[in-house]
Each structure stands twice: as structure tokens, then as C-alpha cells.
Copies of this chain bind each other. A is one copy, B any other.
């Protein structure tokens, strides 16, 4: 039975002089509030504020970072309690799922999932033994006990985590009733929606016509024409702005932003409504929509987040049986330079426009993203995202982008989690990495300590607030 210990110096540089400086910098930012501008926590969880059900459904089943690793070594999603779309049999006993997870614990060595989980188990749930077949039941019971207590309800955790603001990700079709309920409640937490129209702008998607009808209904705008469609989206953005939204979010496979002639866009739109659109037209339409979203951002001030370069559902059989987000989304190369050019030429120096660009293609850091963010005033660099939200990858991001773009063309740290309880661990990791990087500049004679301390605070709270235009 191994103990579960958190090293207070974890992730900080090994060199003693650099570590001493890093400690000092980290101490100055460790307790700052969490500005969480890009996440996938369900607002309903905080609206309802009901207890979390059990350890497996809190920490394993919905976290595809965790399930995919177990799958990679032979586990079946069914055995991990992931529901099948066809209603076929899956494991229903959370304890059995938890045991499988604990047995697979060594697989996570060296991964950020391990770091997040360790910190959650240790700091949130008070666990002091490492997961293993021998300890699985005890840990399960300990967390179960916690979850029954009021201080482990969602809102209480939110408060204890020190979250200044949490942005959720929401469909344009959403009434945002959960956000209204939160705002109307006596609870003081700030939870803002994010406008994510992906499903509506990918016109070849199954079910798109149905969603466009729903859009007409919820917006009260006729969507039978392309211009009506744009008006309806504009109406929904206004609805989101009224509910506190600060940003939009766009997950396209390519970074293309070439606008079609409105007549061509209208023609494709009509064909899509009639169910007769091909892949190539659908792609062209999606690029046009990024351009139009940028135009609307320059008008309504919502910050535009762009996340291109992922081939979703690489194994289509898994998608057919379990749906999306099962760990089979794989990054592909992205061409930001040509892709974003139409958008940046049109809006990149527009004072009302702001975009935050993310990638999981590291090759674009020094070649494309830092040079673009280092000259276009509207553009900010998103932080390492998804697989790159990890100590070494974050470090590579700082190393590859800072020399060209500086610190101030970045957006600070933005987590990207569905796993509510992991939010503090993720922000803590980022603060440690940044403290270590800045400490290296100090001991390398490249930055005085006082400037490093100032920069650390900027990275932690000032820059995300500025990037998302949040009045702090």
C-alpha cells in the first residue's frame, strides 16, 4: 500500500537556486482567485446544487482523459460504465468501475490526469493512500462519505475552490435557464454562458435541419433563408450577452475563414435545408461562418475562441455505439497562416474584435501562432489545450511562444475541463509551470525578480480578465 503524498514543490524546477526563486513566485500567485473562462461543466450542476452521485460518476465515467487510458490497455467502455446509445448492457455498479480504475492506476504515471486526480483525492477528499486494487474500496467509501456532506455540494466546492468566474459552454438553442436560476438564487457565485454554435454551422451534420428549426423557434426569427439564419444567430448572441456571456467558442476541423459570396452561402444554405449538401460545400460554409462570427464579435464584443485541428471520432464504430467525446478525437495538422488570413485581414486590427486561438498542433507555436499574435492586435494566444494541458507541454508552449509573442499577447491560463473537481488542480499546475518558467528567466539573468512577480500575477488573473474583457 503506497501512501498518497503531494510534494509541495512538485513541477518546480530541480535546480536549487531556480527552485528557490520559483517557490517565491509561486507563493505570490498560489492563492489568487481562479478565472475559469473556458470549461465544459454543466451549469445545471450548479443550478440544482445536488450532491454528486458517487466516486465513479464524479471522477471516472465522464472523464474521457481517464477512460481512454484504460481503453488503451484493453478495458471496454462498457466495463467503465459508459452508457451505450443503443441501451445495451454496461456496468452499473460504480464500485466495480472504481475498482477497474484503481487497478489501472500505474498507467497514469507521468500523465497530467494522475496529477489532477492525486490533488483532487488528497486536497478535496482527504485521501492519503494511492489507488490500487487493495485500496480501491476504502477510497471509494471515503469519497462516498464526503459526497454526502453539504460542503461537497457543487456550490460549496465552487466557493472553496476560490473561483472568481466560471464560463460554461452552451448551445445557441439553450434558454440559459440554469444561468438564470443561478443568478436569481441567493448564492453569490458567478457562472456565465459561452456561445458555441458548432452544431448549427456544420450543415452536413445529421440533425442539422431539426436544429435550425429549433433555432427559429427559440429566437423567434425565421431561419428559412441564409440571412434569417444569420439574424437568428445574432439574436441568440444578444440573448447570451444579456445573460453575462463574454465569449463564443468554435471547434472546427480546419482553421479556414474564407468567406463565401453571400449568394453562394445562401445557395449552400438552401441546399442544406433540402438535405442536399456535399462535404466540400459544408466545409466552405463552415469557414464562412467563422468569418461571420468574427464580424458579429466585432459588433457585439463577444470574444471569439477558435479551437481548430481535431479529427473527431477517429473510430467511427465507437462513435456509433457511445457517441462523441470518448477519447477518439485526434489532433491533425493545422494551417493557421492561410486559414485565419481572411478573418485577420478583415478584423485583426478592428478595435471591437478579439479572438483567442488555441491549438493542439505544437508545430504551429513558433512558426505560426506566436508571429500572428505578435503583430495582430485582435489576436491572443490560447494556452496549451487538451492533451497539452500538462506540465511539460505547458513549458514547451512558454518556451516556443514567449520569445516571439511575449507574455502579453497570451490569454493567461484557461482550463478546458468537464471534471468540476479538477479545476483547482489544473490552475495550480499552470501556476507552478509559469512560476518555474519565470524563475528560469530570473536565474538566467533575463528578468529581474520584481518583474517576474508582476508577470506571474498577470498570467494568473490579469491576462485572462483582459483577454475575455472581464471587468475584474
A residues sitting closer than 8 Å to B (CB atoms) are 2, 5-18, 68-69, 71-74, 106-112, 114-115, 311, 314-318, 327-333, 335, 337-338, 341, 344-345, 348-349, 351, 360-363, 366-368, 370-377, 379, 387-388, 390-393, 396, 399-400, 402-409, 440-441, 443-448, 450-451, 454-455
Contacts and interface: CB of A to CB of B under 8 A. Distances in A.
A375 B445 contact: no
Contacts of A106: 408, 451, 454
Contact of A367 (B11, B362, B400): B362
Given A337-B311, A448-B2, A406 B360 contact: no
A256 to B, nearest CB: 15
B338 A446 contact: no
Counted per complex, copies of this chain come to 3
The winner among A317, A331, A348, A349 for most chain B CB atoms within 10 A is A331
A333 B366 CA distance: 11
Contacts of A109: 406-408, 441, 447, 451, 455
Please list the 6 inter-chain residue pairs (A to B) with the smallest Cβ-Cβ separation, ordered nearest first: A7-B445, A10-B445, A390-B403, A110-B402, A68-B375, A14-B15
Given A332-B367, A390-B403, A402-B110, A408 B376 contact: no
A374 B450 CA distance: 41
Nearest to A436: B444
22 contacts: A7-B446, A10-B444, A14-B443, A69-B374, A69-B375, A71-B375, A72-B379, A107-B408, A109-B408, A110-B441, A110-B447, A115-B446, A311-B338, A318-B349, A328-B375, A330-B371, A330-B372, A331-B337, A331-B371, A332-B338, A333-B367, A360-B367
A9 B445 contact: yes
A390 to B, nearest CB: 4
Nearest to A437: B110
B375 A403 contact: no
Contact of A402 (B111, B115, B344, B443): B111
A342 B2 CA distance: 42
A301 to B, nearest CB: 16
A325 to B, nearest CB: 12
Contacts of A403: 110-112, 387, 390-393
A443 B405 CA distance: 31
B392 A399 contact: yes
A280 B388 CA distance: 37
Contact of A108 (B351, B406, B448): B406
Contact of A14 (B18, B318, B390): B18
Nearest to A404: B387
A179 to B, nearest CB: 32
A150 B21 CA distance: 44
Contacts of A392: 399-400, 402-403
Given A110-B441, A441-B110, A345 B317 contact: yes
A445 B26 CA distance: 15
A229 to B, nearest CB: 29
Contacts of A328: 375
A345 B366 contact: no
A12 B443 CA distance: 9
Contacts of A5: 448
Given A375-B68, A445-B9, A393 B366 contact: yes
A407 B110 contact: yes
A348 B406 contact: no
The winner among A363, A371, A399 for most chain B CB atoms within 10 A is A371
A11 B447 CA distance: 11
Contacts of A360: 366-367
Nearest to A365: B362
Contact of A368 (B331, B373, B375): B331
A116 B439 CA distance: 21
Contacts of A13: 14
A25 to B, nearest CB: 13
Given A14-B18, A15-B15, A311-B338, 11 more contacts: A68-B375, A107-B408, A109-B407, A314-B345, A317-B349, A332-B337, A333-B367, A371-B387, A387-B403, A392-B399, A393-B403
B373 A444 contact: no
Contacts of A366: 360, 362, 387-388, 393
Contacts of A111: 402-404, 406
Contact of A391 (B338, B372, B446): B446
Contacts of A16: 17
